Amino acid sequence: MKVSMRVNGAEKSGDIEPRVLLVDFIRTNLGMTGTHVGCDTSSCGACTVLVNGDPVKSCTLLAVQVDGSEVKTIEGIAQGAALAPIQVGFHEEHGLQCGFCTPGMMLIGEELISRIPNPTDEQIRWAISGNICRCTGYMNIVKAVQHAAKLTAAAKAPAGKEAAMAGGGE
């Protein structure tokens, strides 16, 4: 069966069996191994990707179910050579330990910030509640998402407000 979708902004297609999971299509057919397989039961969230802007656990979706959709994986999160705010947040706030949950956590964080520009601890914790960090790094993950939210807001602020947000203005 032919399946086609935009993955990280590029048109991708392939001939697959109808039973192929989205996570397997991404990893095997497209060679994008940043999306992790953790449990195959939707319990851990390591396979989280964005489909049409919504977080989904790709181990419980068939690739044919997202035919014609826009899919964003961890490989599509960077902005060219520059790190995305969520990547900077995870780096600067030590939001990862082993890194297994990190792709899913970053995509959840990015989606949350797109909906709620200044999320509270509680909103972040609720958003990531479907993803398991086996290293129990939740406190730093929350800090990382908050940091990314501040970076995102600063990047969107008018030029005069950037200095004020940094403490150098009125």
Is the pLDDT assigned to residue 10 strictly greater than 70? yes
Domains and CATH numbers, the chain: 2-76 (3.10.20.30), 85-157 (1.10.150.120)
pLDDT at 169: 46
Question: How far is Cα 119 from Cα 98, in angstroms, rounded to an integer?
Answer: 25
Strand partners, 49: 56
Is the pLDDT assigned to residue 131 strictly greater than 60? yes
Structure tokens at 142: 């929350």
> What mean pLDDT comes out for the span 69-76?
98
Instruction: Using a pLDDT cut of 90, give the percent of the chain over it.
Output: 83
pLDDT at 80: 87
H-helix segments, the chain: 22-24, 85-92, 102-115, 121-127, 138-156, 159-165
Is the pLDDT assigned to residue 72 strictly greater than 80? yes
Work out the widest C-alpha separation in the chain, in whole angstroms: 61
Q: Answer yes or no: are the C-beta atoms of 169 and 113 closer than 8 Å.
A: no
Is the pLDDT assigned to residue 170 strictly greater than 50? no
* 48-51/10-15 β-pairing: unpaired
pLDDT at 157: 87
17-58 pLDDT per residue, tens: 999 999 999 999 999 999 999 887 889 999 999 999 999 999
Task: Give the confidence band of 166 by pLDDT, cuts at 50, 70, 90.
Answer: low
Is the pLDDT assigned to residue 15 strictly greater than 60? yes
pLDDT at 161: 55
Of 19, 16, 18, 60, the residue nearest 38 (C-alpha): 60
Sign, CA dihedral 117-86-76-71, equals negative
